[in-house]
Structures are given as C-alpha cells and as structure tokens.
C-alpha cells in the first residue's frame, strides 16, 4: 500500500471554501469589491484589533508596514536572525539597515536580552524599530519587549501565530494581533499558514492613521479624501463645493499590493474555521510532544515559551544529529523516501551572502545552536493522529532509535 505524501504544511480547503470563491466568480467584483472589506472586518474582530488591512502577501505587507512607519535610510530595524528572509528584507526595501538579534536556543525566539544586545551593536540613536517574530506560533514576551524598547516602533511578524494568545501588559491573555504591546502586527495567508488565500497578508493595528497610510501605500499612494487634497484648483471646479468625481492625488508613490475578492472570500470562509484548525494543530502537536519524548535524550520537541498559548504553525523537533551519528540531510532524504516532508526553519538570515557582504554580524550562538538542531515535521489541520504516529515511527527508524509501541 502506498501512503500519501505528508508535506510539512499545507492548506485545508472544504466545499464551503469552494462555494465562497465560486460566488465571487459569479458576481460583479473580482477585485476592490465588498469581499475585501468583509474579510478585513472579520479579521480585525477575530484578533481584537481596531483595523485590519489586507494585502497581496505577508512580504508585501512587511514592505508597506516599513514604508508606513516612515523607516528609511539611516534608520536601523532590529530583526531576530531566525526568521524568514522577508522580515529583514522589508527594512532593506525602504533603505533602512538591519541589525540582527540572536535568539533563545531552545525556543528560537528573540527575548529582551537578545534585543538589547543587538541594539547595543547599532550606531547610537539609529534604532527606530523592532520586528519581533512569533516563531513556530509561540510568542515573544511582548509586554517585556515594549518596556525594553520604549518608544520604538514595534511591528510583530505574526505570520506563524494567527489564532494564538499571549500576555498583554495588563496580564490578561489576549489574541495575537490585538497589538496591546505593539504598533502593528503582520499575518500571512500563504497556504502553509493557519488560513490560506493562495497568497495574501493582513496588517492589524489599533492606530487609525497608520492603517490609512498602509492602505494608501497598498493602492499606488492614491488619496481620495478631499480633506487631504493639496492641489485645490485641480480638485474643485470653479464655484463647486464637492471635489471633481474623478479626482485623486498622489503624495507619495505606492504599489499595487491589493488582495482581490476571490482571495478575500476564501479568507473569510477559512477564518470561520480558524478555531477548529488551531485546536487540531494543538492536538497533533501534543501528540508529537508525547511520542517524540520516547525517542530518547537526543530528540526533543520544542519547549513551550512562557506567557503564551501557541497556535502551532510548525511542529519542530530539536535533534542532536551529531550525537546520533547522522546528518540532517540524510534524515530528511530518508524521511522523504518514506513519504514524509520536512523542512528547516530557518537558515539564520544574517548568514545569507547578501547580509554577510553588507554587515559584520558577530557570531550569534543561540541562533547557531537552534539552527543546527531544528527540523520541522508535518503539521497541518487536515492531518490525523495516525499521521503523527507514522511520522514519529519513521523518524525513530531513520535515526535508528527503537520506539516502544505507540499505542
């Protein structure tokens, strides 16, 4: 019997999702229509933020966020080095510089000590922002970071963490995205993330001005609010109180980074299933946690960071490959031969040739230690318990570790 291939992550689409997209196809608006706003309103309500603005990808959103925050040449953004390329690249898109922070070797998260150490390496006065990353679905300790970062602009890269909860400065547990200790948070709706729209991203914030700026940059920088017009003779016909119906202005160039109605309808349908997705991911991850512990001291499920209820994006095992007399590549290849996809999240970004050529980042030992051991095992909402058993059995076999019966 051939078993289906298990990728490390994938979407979970049902008939309701398909019907939602089909309805848009039969309607009047494929883009800039009502589905976008409906998705944004539901998203904001779900995470407890005042505003949600959807865009074409998480990466596009991080770019817009850096623009809307006014970051530019001469400014420094602190970014943990264990993240996806896009978190750091967002600063570079607007001409700002990155100073890479180390991470905790057990959780992969940037804590306050790592943030402060990175800030110390930046030119005095240059640090303007910090982009903490909620790696794997855990949360950075946001109240502590807010306290340490003072008035710096804090944008959470929450691409892994939709559906999770973490501690607010008040001590209450709040949804990730409520921005109780940050200026904004960015989510992705790429198919491996908690909900899928194909490509997509959603910015959330409680700052109305910031949401408006972000929305303008998403749409070419077009201004349609007459109260903001600068060239009044062009905007108003002689003797008329209302601006000309076609008129718009551009004060700063933006992009076309819109999410369309097909994607938004899918997003809204997926959002209705988010709680179920998160529950299933937690269930699967708890099962991984129990079973992986039976593989002995050299295989460790990742520790749960304090002060958060993770919405597990990835199921990471920290494996001492050298102690097991193997390599990560060999393990990945053998698992692939058994129909199991794994991945490494992430190559520390400061070691990428582009960033090595640009910066003299010192050794970041926490990140090196995390990176040397991490392996992301299949985790997605459409998986069942038996899939987890299959993965752990295969991992045990590949690592030559006898696993007692799983039942």
Enzyme catalytic residues: 193
Cα-Cα-Cα-Cα torsion 103, 104, 106, 108, nearest 10 degrees, comes to -30
Residue 392 binding ligand PLP, by CB under 6 A: no
Q: Indicate the SS3 state at residue 301.
A: strand
Is residue 312 a contact partner of residue 137, using CB atoms and an 8 Å limit? yes
Site stretch for ligand PLP (CB under 6 A), options 10-18, 154-162, 222-230, 262-270 = 154-162
C-beta closer to ligand PLP: residue 102 or 157 = 157
C-beta closer to ligand PLP: residue 83 or 395 = 83
Cβ within 8 Å of residue 201, ≥6 positions away: 54, 55, 56, 57, 58, 59, 60, 61, 62, 159, 186, 187, 188, 189, 259
C-beta closer to ligand PLP: residue 326 or 343 = 343
Task: Supply the minimum distance, in Å, between the C-beta of residue 61 and ligand PLP.
Answer: 8
**Dihedral pair phi/psi, residue 99, rounded to 5°:** -115, 120
**Among 160, 218, 258, 373, which residue sits at the site for ligand PLP (rule: CB under 6 A)?**
160
Q: Which residues of 98-131 are buried (b: 16+ CB within 10 A; e: fewer)?
A: bbbbbbbbebbbbbeebbebbbebbeeeebbbbb
C-beta closer to ligand PLP: residue 53 or 291 = 53
Distance from C-alpha of 143 to C-alpha of 232, rounded to nearest angstrom: 45
| Residues 103-122 within binding reach of ligand PLP (CB under 6 A) | none
* H or E element at residue 202: strand 201-205
Task: Supply the minimum distance, in Å, between the C-beta of residue 245 and ligand PLP.
Answer: 36
From residue 182 to residue 201, the character string flagging contacts with ligand PLP as x (rule: CB under 6 A) and all else as - is ------x-x----------x
The residue at minimum Cβ distance from ligand PLP is: 58
Residue 257 binding ligand PLP, by CB under 6 A: no
Distance from C-alpha of 201 to C-alpha of 54, rounded to nearest angstrom: 6
Report the relative pairing of strands 153-157 and 165-167 from DSSP bridges: unpaired
**Among 47, 49, 63, 83, which residue sits at the site for ligand PLP (rule: CB under 6 A)?**
83
Is residue 8 a contact partner of residue 284, using CB atoms and an 8 Å limit? no
Residue 58 binding ligand PLP, by CB under 6 A: yes
Cβ within 8 Å of residue 150, ≥6 positions away: none
**Tokens at 134, concatenated:** 């909620």
Residue 281 binding ligand PLP, by CB under 6 A: no
Task: Supply the minimum distance, in Å, between the C-beta of residue 398 and ligand PLP.
Answer: 26
Q: How far is CA 101 from the centre of its chain?
A: 17
**Tokens at 142, concatenated:** 């946001």
Task: Supply the minimum distance, in Å, between the C-beta of residue 91 and ligand PLP.
Answer: 13
What DSSP state is assigned to residue 294? G
C-beta closer to ligand PLP: residue 243 or 263 = 263
The footprint of ligand PLP on this chain (CB under 6 A) covers a number of residues equal to: 14
**Among 21, 49, 77, 86, which residue sits at the site for ligand PLP (rule: CB under 6 A)?**
86
Residue 159 binding ligand PLP, by CB under 6 A: yes
**Among 40, 75, 97, 157, which residue sits at the site for ligand PLP (rule: CB under 6 A)?**
157
**Among 9, 21, 24, 59, which residue sits at the site for ligand PLP (rule: CB under 6 A)?**
59
Residue 128 binding ligand PLP, by CB under 6 A: no
**Among 49, 109, 110, 133, which residue sits at the site for ligand PLP (rule: CB under 6 A)?**
133
**Among 11, 87, 89, 180, which residue sits at the site for ligand PLP (rule: CB under 6 A)?**
87
**Tokens at 357, concatenated:** 């050529």
Binding site for ligand PLP (CB under 6 A): 57-59, 83-84, 86-87, 133, 157, 159-160, 188, 190, 201
């Amino acid at each position: 019997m051939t078993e289906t291939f298990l990728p490390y992550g994938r979407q979970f689409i049902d008939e309701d999702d398909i019907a939602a997209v089909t309805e848009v196809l039969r309607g009047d608006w494929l883009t800039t229509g009502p589905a976008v706003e409906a998705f944004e309103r539901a998203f904001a309500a779900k995470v407890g933020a005042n505003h949600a603005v959807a865009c074409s990808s998480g990466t596009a959103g991080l770019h817009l966020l850096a623009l809307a925050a006014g970051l530019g040449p001469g400014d420094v953004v602190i970014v943990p080095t264990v993240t996806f390329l896009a978190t750091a690249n967002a600063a570079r898109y607007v001409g700002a510089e990155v100073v890479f922070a180390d991470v905790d070797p057990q959780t992969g998260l940037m804590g306050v000590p790592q943030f402060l150490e990175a800030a110390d390496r930046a030119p005095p006065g240059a640090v303007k922002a910090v982009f903490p990353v909620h790696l794997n679905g855990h949360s950075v300790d946001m109240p502590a970071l807010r306290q340490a970062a003072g008035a710096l602009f804090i944008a959470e890269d929450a691409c892994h963490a939709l559906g999770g909860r973490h501690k607010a400065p008040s001590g209450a547990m709040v949804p990730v995205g409520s921005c109780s200790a940050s200026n904004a948070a960015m989510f992705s709706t790429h198919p491996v993330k908690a909900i899928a729209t194909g490509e997509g991203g959603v910015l959330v914030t409680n700052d109305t001005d910031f949401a408006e700026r972000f929305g303008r940059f998403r749409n070419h920088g077009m201004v349609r609010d007459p109260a903001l017009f600068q060239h009044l003779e062009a905007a108003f016909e002689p003797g008329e109180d209302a601006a000309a119906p076609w008129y718009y202005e551009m004060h700063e160039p933006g992009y076309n980074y819109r999410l369309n109605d097909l994607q938004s309808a899918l997003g809204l349908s997926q959002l209705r299933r988010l709680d179920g997705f998160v529950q299933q991911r937690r269930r699967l991850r708890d099962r991984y946690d129990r079973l992986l512990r039976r593989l002995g001291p050299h295989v460790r499920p990742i520790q749960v960071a304090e002060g958060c209820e993770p919405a597990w994006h990835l199921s990471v095992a920290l494996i001492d490959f050298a102690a097991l007399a193997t390599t990560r590549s060999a393990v990945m290849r053998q698992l692939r031969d058994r129909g199991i996809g794994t991945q490494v999240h992430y190559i520390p970004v400061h070691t990428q040739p582009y960033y090595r050529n640009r910066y003299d980042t010192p050794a970041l030992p926490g990140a090196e230690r995390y990176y040397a051991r991490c392996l992301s095992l299949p985790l997605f909402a459409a998986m069942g318990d038996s899939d987890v058993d299959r993965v752990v059995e295969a991992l045990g076999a590949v690592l030559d570790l006898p696993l007692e019966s799983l039942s």
